[in-house]
């Protein structure tokens, strides 16, 4: 009976359609996947490089600032006096914008992704 069932299944197995069109479609899809994979790999490499650059720049600038402060100790202005200054907020906002904008400009659309043909 076991062999009979096996034979019956084999005899009545459905036959898939012509494999040519299937293979062609598969090849086209695989090529598209390759393209997306390559793009993704490129993006990962660029993001990694960007983080390394920003990290190194932070390290160098931080080190330079620390060295400068150690070598040139000065009496820091009173915080309350600084807050009262009419230049405080414009300078603080401009400083923040520069700190955020410079790495973005340097690395070109760090936070955006666009498929380049």
Partner 1 sequence: MTREEFISLATAEQESLRRFLLSLCGDAAEADDIAQDALINAYVASSSFRGAARFSTWLFRIAYNCFIDRLRSRKIRTAPLDAPAAQTVPGQEAADGRFRHEDLHRAIGRLPDKERAALLLFYMEDKPVKEVAAILEIPAGSVRAYLTRGRQHVKEYLEKWKTR
Q: Which residues of this protein are in contact with partner 1, per CB under 8 A?
A: 1-2, 4-6, 8-17, 19, 22-23, 25-27, 29-30, 33-34, 37
Q: Which is nearer to partner 1, 29 or 109 (CB)?
A: 29
Question: Cα torsion for 29, 30, 36, 41, to the nearest 10°?
Answer: 170
The H-assigned helical ranges of 1-117 are: 2-11, 19-71, 79-84, 88-107
Minimal distance, residue 13 CB to partner 1, in Å: 5
Minimal distance, residue 60 CB to partner 1, in Å: 37
Minimal distance, residue 51 CB to partner 1, in Å: 24
Q: Which is nearer to partner 1, 8 or 89 (CB)?
A: 8
């Amino acid at each position: 009976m076991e062999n009979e069932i096996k034979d019956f299944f084999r005899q009545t197995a459905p036959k898939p359609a012509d494999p040519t069109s299937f293979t062609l479609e598969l090849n086209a899809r695989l090529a598209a996947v390759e393209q997306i994979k390559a793009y993704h790999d490129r993006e990962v490499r660029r993001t990694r490089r960007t983080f390394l650059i920003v990290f190194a720049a932070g390290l160098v600038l931080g080190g330079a600032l620390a060295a400068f402060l150690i070598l040139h100790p000065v009496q820091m202005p009173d915080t309350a006096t600084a807050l009262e200054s009419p230049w405080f907020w414009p300078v603080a906002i401009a400083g923040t914008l520069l700190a955020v904008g410079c790495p973005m400009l340097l690395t070109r659309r760090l936070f955006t992704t666009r498929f380049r043909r």
